[in-house]
Amino acid sequence: MEWQNAPTPDEIIDVGKKKFDDFRKYIPWVVVFFVILVGLKGVIYSIGPDEVGVRQRFGKYIGLSSPGLHAQLPFGIDRVTPIKVEKVLKEEFGMRTIKPGVKTEYSRGDYPDETLMLTGDLNILDVRWIVQFKIKDPVKLLFAIRNPLQTIRDISEVVMRQFVGDYSVDEVLTTKREEIDDLAQQEMQKILDDYDAGIQIVTIKLLDVNPPEKVKPAFNEVNEAKQEKEKMINQAWEAYNKVIPKARGTAEKTIREAEGYALDKVNRAKGESEKFLATLAEYKKSPDITKKRLYLETLMESLPRAKDKYIIDPKQSSILPLLNIGEKGVER
């Protein structure tokens, strides 16, 4: 019968032992294969075109890896940390990027711990800004500071509060924003260099500066009052500039005319005085001749202005017959 020909349990065990012995010969090769597979995965690594790999062996720095494929010791003996050294990185304060691009969209959340700052004239402003930076030394970045991003944020907040506190609220809102950007960038770079952090600050830019929402209506009223004050001052100066220069011109003209008149009178008096003195000197030298000369000069000056001229004989006792009074119709 068929059940009588079935293998016994001992026979089944013997067959299993035989097959296992045949398979056991391949176990070392299978182990070696898996070891090689795992090892190759940790041996080959790649560095991107904008990266530099910082290599460590047992935690100690041993060198840098350039972009491309490289090999390393497996099983955690070697460790490579890729650092992006060409990309400009960014940290945001008072906002978060929603959609990056040519026109970046920001989320204007509420971050009072970051943005509320005290100005030099004891006003509060809501200041939002960005910091852009690059990694200039990846080795210093990894080994000089523990948390680079948090360090950048802490330094930036301290520096920005310092310079906002150096200016009045009007200056921060209007004319001094670019100056604050430049000063904050210089000071932040100096601190990072002192830390030997290996970070280069590309730019710091104030994006939005406003009074806090709760006090914005009162702040706007103050600004309107200041604008009205400036308007009235400008109008007063405009009226002043119209009236005062004209009055000054009139006064200057009157003064110049008076000075000219006085100078003319003085010069005339000096001339008459000098002429008299000169005539007196000549008279003292030759009295008769001088009198005769003066007489002749007087005649020469007065005769051309006379309409009628009469020559009288010294022996004539009266000049009435010579005047022809009746002919001219002169009434007595």
Answer yes or no: are the C-beta atoms of 115 and 157 closer than 8 Å: no
Average of pLDDT values for 249-267?
87
pLDDT per residue over 149-192, tens digit each?
A: 999 999 999 999 999 999 998 899 888 999 999 999 999 999 99
Which residues belong to CATH 3.30.479.30 in the chain?
Answer: 89-210
CA atoms within 13 A on the CB side of 166: 13
Predicted confidence band of residue 330 (pLDDT cuts 50, 70, 90) = very low
Cα separation of 262 and 257, whole Å? 9
Q: What is the largest CA-CA distance in the chain?
A: 214
pLDDT at site 250 = 86
Kindly state the percentage of the chain with pLDDT values over 90: 27
Report pLDDT for 291.
Answer: 77
Q: What are phi and psi of 314, to 5 degrees?
A: -60, -25
What is the model's pLDDT at position 138? 93
- Residue 76 to residue 91: CA distance in whole angstroms: 32
pLDDT digits (tens, 9 = 90+) for 69-102: 888 887 778 889 899 998 999 999 988 887 776 6
> Can you give the C-alpha Rg of the chain in angstroms?
56
Could you give the CA distance from residue 300 to residue 294 in angstroms, rounded to a whole number? 10
pLDDT reported for residue 20? 56
CATH number for the segment(s) 89-210: 3.30.479.30
Quick one: pLDDT band at residue 2, thresholds 50, 70, 90?
very low
pLDDT band at 30 (very low <50, low <70, confident <90, very high): low
pLDDT the model gives residue 149: 92
**φ, ψ at 311 (rounded to 5°):** -105, 120
Cβ proximity of 240 and 232 under 8 Å: no
